[in-house]
A and B are shown apart, each in its own frame.
Chain A
Amino acid sequence: QQQSENKNKKVKQDFTIDFTTLLDDDEEERIFTKSKISTMLPQPTGNERHNNYLLPDDIFFSSEQLTKLFLKPHQKLSVFRKFKHIRSIDNKDANN
């Protein structure tokens, strides 16, 4: 069995099913055997908090925002000049 499986991988293109021999009843029974352990996902208990797999509202926080004043948004802070590379962290982190 193991061997034939390995062979399948090597010559995948040529893998064929041999329909000339049929499974006997025992085998049929075997493949239809139900599993003792459940084949189903555990059902959520109901009171679990789920967000339906949606993203939270994005407030689009950015490095831009951190270098600006609150009340004078077009004024950038001189102290932040040395943090030119913040953006690179920003990107790096997004990839993490």
Chain B
Amino acid sequence: NALAKVFQDSQASVAGHKKQIIVLKAIQLRAQELDHEEFFNFVFCKLVNKVLVIKKSEVVGDRIVKLVAAFILSLQQDYSTEEEGEEEEEEDTLFSRFVRVFLIHLLKGIESKDKNVRYRVVQFLDFAMSGLGEIDQELYETLTYSLDRRLHDKEQNIRIKALHCIARFQEEQNDEADEDASLDDDATSKLLVAIQNDSSAEVRRAALLNLARSNHTKHYLLERAKDVNSINRRLVYSRVVKDLGDFRTIDSKTREKILSWGLKDREESVQKACVKMFAQDWLSTVDGDLIELLERLHIAHSEVAELAMKHFFNFRKDLIPKISFPEDIWLKLTPEISFLARTFYFHCFQNLLYDIVDANFPESARLAELLTRYLVERKTILNSEEEEDFGFVIENLLTIAVNYDYSDEIGRRAMLQTIRSSLTNDRLPANLTKVALQVLRKLSINERDFTSMVTEIISDIRDVDEENENNLPNSEEDELKTVLICLSICKSMLVLINDPLKDNISVTSLIDTLINPAVRNKNSDAREAGTEALSLCCLLDLELATEQLYLFGLCLSKGHEELRIIAIKAIFDILSVHGTKVLDVEDGVDTLSFHKLLYRTLKNPELPALQALCAEGLCKLYLADVMTDDELFETLILTYYNPLNADNQSLLQAFTFCLPVYCFSHPNHQAKMSSIGSDAFKRLYNAHSGEQEEDEREMISPTIILQQLIYWTDPANVVNQEQSEIQKSKTHLTLLIGLLESIEETDDKKYRKMIIMNMNKFTIHSSIGYEDLKKLKAALEGVEEIVEDQDNISKTNFTKFLNRFEPVFTEAQVVEQEKSN
């Protein structure tokens, strides 16, 4: 009874637990003295029983669990200090006997049919384990076996508790020992299974937080940066990476990945956590040395470094005044310093911090001078690694120069001179050419000035080349190199201009002398560059585009993959700019063969990249109403759901994004979807049911497809629509009539049922008008007999729809009669 009183008093709050534990121990000792030890244990368990049935949400239960845990912990401490002198001698103590009885008692309930009991049992075990040192082997084995089963309990809360408890069995691992003994203990490997395979985000989270941090588990932990649950993703950035210690111990590829995932995460909280990890935790790991941090990013090859720095400066505004570029540093730029300068410049430029720019960055004339220095030095370098470094420094300087202030005429001229001479003489690689042209465009007075300068540069390059030829016979290889350099410059120029070609002789002459010959070049690099340059010209001139469309079509159907990719981009860009005016002209491409070509490209899963581009381009053209063909549009839908394309993420994500955007952007778009919807669904259904057993799970289930179609054609989802417009929309009506008609054409009861079961998701309003509603009525009457053959639930659902439809129809009828009166 004294024992019961302790329990009774302990449930209200944990505050008095210390005292209660003293009382408990006293009772236990007295029981032993009076030879009532067994009775004590018996009553104790009986009392615990009372807690086992308590629902998880009741805190009183939790308090008792804590009391018991504290009791065990306290005993553990007492006995372990006592034991010290005697060494493992005394295995059988009052304490160990108690624990044994208690645990065995709990285990009786671990498979209970009552989920509360299972939950409480595992909770007791978890807490008890926190206080326990060692238990005997046999009991340990039963315990782990039972807990392992609870790791697969139906209830996620029980799984979480079991996981906590198992986590306690993980052996402390130190990383050095880990190297050779990469064998995990049992407990860890169980958690590794859970972190990857448990369907509940919370269970995976529990595993994420409780897994031992070691070299071996690192990969599993960091992988959660892409967990489908955003809290789990965030925890990787806010907790797990920190727990793993020095970020430099994570290999650089993995670092790049987790940075990139985090900074681009669609969930803002994840992004923030990632920025904080980078700009705060990592920076302090390298003692605030920004240059070292940049070295760790491997900036020259990193895709994410620029984005990371952008966030960095925004997050660490406190550091902005502390960053400075003294004059002499410009003479010994390293890749890291130049990259820092460039990203810092960009930040200041964006945030209008002109004082900081003036204080840290050289005048334009000086910048030109510096650039020349590095450009000259680059040419003296033979070893490729250094060349790469120099190229990177130059690229950064050029990028800074694009947005520089050239109001000082001397500076402007100096920069112009530097850029022109470098483009003419240095045979810059493509990445540098591109930026150099951007600087040149900035320096030129207008587009015409820009194009004539570039044309001059190109002809100078060719002249120099020819002069050489006169002395020494030039090899074909050198000639090709020259052509490629010129094409690279030409392309970079064309991207930057927008004026019509018509009166621009400098560009038209390039088409004849450089571009057209390149298109017919034997070398595939030259052909690709030529084709791309030509298509850029086509964007500036309708006539040229119409003329050359056939050529691009030819490249798309016959070329090698790279050329096809350029060709399809060209085709879509041309249509985007000029519309269908380029089609059906004499001696040109007709619409039908154009559609066929795209149809073939879209259907061909052998070149997934091309297929994805084709999907994206078509979506673009449909969205812009450049294309309106129904058949091709239906092909888009069929392609989206075709299991052959299930692995083509670019394709799928383009569709996932574009199809709803298309439907919801204009009522006409939605009408198109509803007019092809039923036919597309029928075909997809047949394709699905015709599939082999093993493929079946590859395809999205028809139910989901149907629901998507209903969602896409729901007029309430179209943007900027008045309520009255929404009510008049026939999109759901059209789709439903189509589907009902398709019911009549098939004997498949499952198909029929699927349609009938989804009928009530359609919205049909009387404003649609009597005439159109009559068509639906007819369609409904047409299937009535068929519905009679279906199961009861279908019948009920059908009647439900009829009951909904009847008043709508009557209302429309009344309105119609009033009108005619």
Interface of A toward B, CB cutoff 8 Å = 8, 12, 15-20, 22-23, 27-28, 31-36, 38-41, 43-44, 48-50, 52-63, 65-66, 69-72, 74-75, 77, 79-80, 83, 85-86, 88-90, 92-94
Separation in Å of the A16 CB from the closest CB of chain B?
Answer: 6
| B4 surroundings in chain A (CB, below 8 A) | 19-20, 22
Contact B719 A85 (CB under 8 A): yes
Separation in Å of the A43 CB from the closest CB of chain B?
Answer: 7
Contact A17 B154 (CB under 8 A): no
- How far apart sit A51 and B640, CA to CA, in the bound complex (Å)? 20
Which of B64, B199, B657 has the most chain A CB atoms closer than 10 A to its own CB? B657
Contact B196 A52 (CB under 8 A): yes
Contact A19 B623 (CB under 8 A): no
- How far apart sit A44 and B697, CA to CA, in the bound complex (Å)? 14
State whether the Cβ of B649 lies closer than 8 Å to any Cβ in chain A. Answer: yes
- Residues of B35-54 at the interface with A, using a CB-CB cut-off of 8 Å, are 43, 46-47, 49-54
| B577 surroundings in chain A (CB, below 8 A) | 69, 77
Contact A70 B569 (CB under 8 A): yes
| B483 surroundings in chain A (CB, below 8 A) | none
Interface residue from A36, A54, A83, A92 paired with B113 (Cβ < 8 Å): A36
Contact A61 B654 (CB under 8 A): yes
Contact B49 A28 (CB under 8 A): yes
Separation in Å of the B774 CB from the closest CB of chain A?
Answer: 33
Separation in Å of the B726 CB from the closest CB of chain A?
Answer: 15
Interface 9-mer from B69-77, B531-539, B762-770: B531-539
State whether the Cβ of B459 lies closer than 8 Å to any Cβ in chain A. Answer: no
| B658 surroundings in chain A (CB, below 8 A) | 61, 66
| A48 surroundings in chain B (CB, below 8 A) | 697
Q: Knowing A35-B111, A58-B264, A70-B617, say if A20 contacts B665 (CB, 8 Å).
A: no
Contact A16 B60 (CB under 8 A): yes
Separation in Å of the A55 CB from the closest CB of chain B?
Answer: 5
29 contacts across the A-B interface (CB closer than 8 A): A16-B8, A16-B11, A17-B64, A18-B8, A19-B7, A19-B11, A19-B47, A20-B4, A20-B8, A22-B50, A23-B46, A31-B53, A41-B199, A53-B197, A53-B198, A53-B199, A54-B226, A55-B226, A58-B266, A59-B649, A61-B657, A66-B658, A69-B576, A71-B536, A77-B576, A86-B665, A89-B719, A90-B661, A93-B664
- How far apart sit A49 and B115, CA to CA, in the bound complex (Å)? 30
Contact B576 A50 (CB under 8 A): no
| B489 surroundings in chain A (CB, below 8 A) | none
Minimum CB distance partner of B661 in chain A: A89
Contact B227 A53 (CB under 8 A): yes
Which of A19, A59, A72, A77 has the most chain B CB atoms closer than 10 A to its own CB? A19
State whether the Cβ of B228 lies closer than 8 Å to any Cβ in chain A. Answer: yes
Separation in Å of the A29 CB from the closest CB of chain B?
Answer: 9
| B613 surroundings in chain A (CB, below 8 A) | 70
Separation in Å of the A33 CB from the closest CB of chain B?
Answer: 6
State whether the Cβ of B660 lies closer than 8 Å to any Cβ in chain A. Answer: yes
Separation in Å of the B660 CB from the closest CB of chain A?
Answer: 5
Contact B47 A22 (CB under 8 A): yes
Q: Knowing A19-B7, A35-B111, A40-B149, say if A59 contacts B719 (CB, 8 Å).
A: no
Q: Knowing A33-B113, A58-B264, say if A41 contacts B50 (CB, 8 Å).
A: no
Interface residue from A17, A72, A86, A94 paired with B495 (Cβ < 8 Å): A72
Q: Knowing A19-B7, A19-B50, say if A75 contacts B498 (CB, 8 Å).
A: yes
Q: Knowing A53-B228, A75-B498, A85-B720, say if A60 contacts B264 (CB, 8 Å).
A: yes
Separation in Å of the B575 CB from the closest CB of chain A?
Answer: 10
State whether the Cβ of B634 lies closer than 8 Å to any Cβ in chain A. Answer: no
Contact B49 A31 (CB under 8 A): yes
Minimum CB distance partner of A56 in chain B: B649
| B527 surroundings in chain A (CB, below 8 A) | none
Separation in Å of the A65 CB from the closest CB of chain B?
Answer: 8
- Residues of B641-674 at the interface with A, using a CB-CB cut-off of 8 Å, are 649-650, 653-654, 656-658, 660-661, 664-665
Contact B665 A31 (CB under 8 A): no
Contact B227 A55 (CB under 8 A): yes
State whether the Cβ of B374 lies closer than 8 Å to any Cβ in chain A. Answer: no
Interface contacts beyond A19-B47, A77-B577, A92-B719: sample of 20 additional A-B pairs, CB < 8 Å, sorted by A = A17-B51, A18-B8, A22-B49, A23-B49, A31-B117, A35-B111, A35-B112, A39-B113, A40-B149, A40-B152, A48-B697, A53-B229, A55-B226, A58-B264, A58-B266, A59-B650, A66-B619, A70-B569, A77-B576, A92-B717
Interface residue from B43, B108, B197 paired with A32 (Cβ < 8 Å): B108
- How far apart sit A92 and B624, CA to CA, in the bound complex (Å)? 20
Contact A41 B573 (CB under 8 A): no
Interface residue from B624, B661, B664 paired with A79 (Cβ < 8 Å): B624
- How far apart sit A28 and B625, CA to CA, in the bound complex (Å)? 73
Minimum CB distance partner of B538 in chain A: A71
Minimum CB distance partner of A66 in chain B: B620
| B8 surroundings in chain A (CB, below 8 A) | 16-20
| A89 surroundings in chain B (CB, below 8 A) | 660-661, 664-665, 719
State whether the Cβ of B66 lies closer than 8 Å to any Cβ in chain A. Answer: no
Q: Knowing A17-B64, A72-B539, A85-B719, say if A66 contacts B50 (CB, 8 Å).
A: no
| B625 surroundings in chain A (CB, below 8 A) | 79
State whether the Cβ of B559 lies closer than 8 Å to any Cβ in chain A. Answer: no
Contact B64 A71 (CB under 8 A): no
Minimum CB distance partner of B61 in chain A: A17
- How far apart sit A76 and B660, CA to CA, in the bound complex (Å)? 21
| A38 surroundings in chain B (CB, below 8 A) | 154
Separation in Å of the A59 CB from the closest CB of chain B?
Answer: 5
Q: Knowing A44-B197, A71-B535, say if A16 contacts B12 (CB, 8 Å).
A: yes
Minimum CB distance partner of A83 in chain B: B665
Encode B610-624 as 1/0 by CB contact (under 8 A) with A. 000100110110011
Contact A63 B661 (CB under 8 A): yes
State whether the Cβ of B435 lies closer than 8 Å to any Cβ in chain A. Answer: no
Contact B665 A85 (CB under 8 A): yes
- Residues of B194-224 at the interface with A, using a CB-CB cut-off of 8 Å, are 196-199, 201, 204, 223
Q: Knowing A16-B12, A54-B226, A55-B228, say if A80 contacts B624 (CB, 8 Å).
A: yes
State whether the Cβ of B570 lies closer than 8 Å to any Cβ in chain A. Answer: yes
| B572 surroundings in chain A (CB, below 8 A) | 70
Contact A71 B570 (CB under 8 A): yes
- How far apart sit A15 and B53, CA to CA, in the bound complex (Å)? 14
| B617 surroundings in chain A (CB, below 8 A) | 70
State whether the Cβ of B131 lies closer than 8 Å to any Cβ in chain A. Answer: no
| B569 surroundings in chain A (CB, below 8 A) | 70-71
Contact A71 B495 (CB under 8 A): yes
| B53 surroundings in chain A (CB, below 8 A) | 31
- How far apart sit A94 and B267, CA to CA, in the bound complex (Å)? 11
| A23 surroundings in chain B (CB, below 8 A) | 46, 49-50
- How far apart sit A50 and B198, CA to CA, in the bound complex (Å)? 11
Separation in Å of the A41 CB from the closest CB of chain B?
Answer: 5
- How far apart sit A57 and B118, CA to CA, in the bound complex (Å)? 39
Separation in Å of the A71 CB from the closest CB of chain B?
Answer: 5
State whether the Cβ of B816 lies closer than 8 Å to any Cβ in chain A. Answer: no
Encode B148-159 as 1/0 by CB contact (under 8 A) with A. 010011100000
Minimum CB distance partner of B656 in chain A: A61
Nearest first, the 9 closest Cβ-Cβ pairs linking A and B are A35-B113, A70-B569, A19-B7, A52-B196, A79-B624, A61-B657, A54-B226, A19-B4, A22-B46
Separation in Å of the B11 CB from the closest CB of chain A?
Answer: 6
State whether the Cβ of B460 lies closer than 8 Å to any Cβ in chain A. Answer: no
Interface residue from B54, B204, B657, B665 paired with A53 (Cβ < 8 Å): B204
- How far apart sit A69 and B613, CA to CA, in the bound complex (Å)? 12
